[in-house]
């Protein structure tokens, strides 16, 4: 199984195009392809008692077709990133937020499922990669990467929206 995505940086509302190629030369059928986007939050405490707590939430899970014995198959799909918390960049040393795109071929019985993992960075503003790379063999410069201005909802999600909690309405009286 070979999987690919065009880049590893996205923002809420963008779609991740995924391509999966199977070359099943085994005697085991791949029943289905499972694609999941996971949010991994690590809570870190400081001395006197150092401790780490890791929670993993599945944000998106999608099931696609599998591949029969001794066959090849190419699967292409997209998944849309919902409103969620941004990836931690290193400014906070108490909470660390990461995302992992996992593509898994689900097989039957006591066999190991083939898996491919991609670390994903989720930010506020998408980058438009509409530049002509054939003009130069050098990697693109920052000037060639223009930020999109056609965002429908430019504000980042609130904490409640990001973790899918109902927003509390508090009435403060003075």
Phi, psi (rounded to 5 degrees) for 171: -105, 110
d(CA 77, CA 50): 42
- Domains (ranges, CATH) in the chain? 2-162 (2.60.40.640)
Phi, psi (rounded to 5 degrees) for 143: -65, -30
The helix (run of H) or strand (run of E) holding residue 130 is none
Q: Is the confidence at residue 130, as pLDDT, over 70?
A: no
pLDDT tens-digit readout, 132-147: 444 444 454 444 444 4
Question: Which residue carries 């849309």 as its tokens?
Answer: 80
pLDDT tens-digit readout, 47-67: 888 899 999 999 999 999 999
d(CA 167, CA 56): 22
| CA 119 to chain CA mean position, Å | 7
d(CA 6, CA 49): 42
User: What are the start-end ranges of the H helices in 96-172?
Assistant: 159-162
Predicted TM-score of the model (pTM): 0.71
């Amino acid at each position: 199984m070979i999987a690919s995505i065009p880049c590893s940086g996205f923002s809420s509302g963008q779609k991740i195009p995924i391509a999966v190629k199977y070359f099943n030369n085994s005697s085991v059928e791949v029943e289905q392809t499972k694609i999941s986007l996971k949010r991994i939050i690590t809570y870190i405490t400081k001395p006197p008692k150092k401790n780490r707590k890791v929670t993993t939430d599945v944000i998106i899970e999608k099931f696609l077709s599998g591949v029969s014995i001794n066959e090849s198959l190419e699967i292409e799909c997209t998944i849309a990133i919902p409103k969620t918390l941004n990836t931690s960049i290193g400014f906070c040393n108490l909470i660390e937020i990461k995302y992992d795109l996992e593509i898994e071929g689900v097989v039957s019985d006591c066999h190991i499922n083939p898996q491919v993992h991609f670390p994903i960075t989720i930010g506020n503003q998408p980058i438009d990669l509409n530049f002509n790379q054939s003009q130069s063999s050098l990697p693109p410069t920052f000037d060639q990467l223009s930020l999109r201005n056609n965002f429908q909802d430019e504000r980042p999600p609130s904490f409640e929206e990001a973790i899918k909690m109902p927003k509390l309405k508090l009435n403060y009286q003075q």
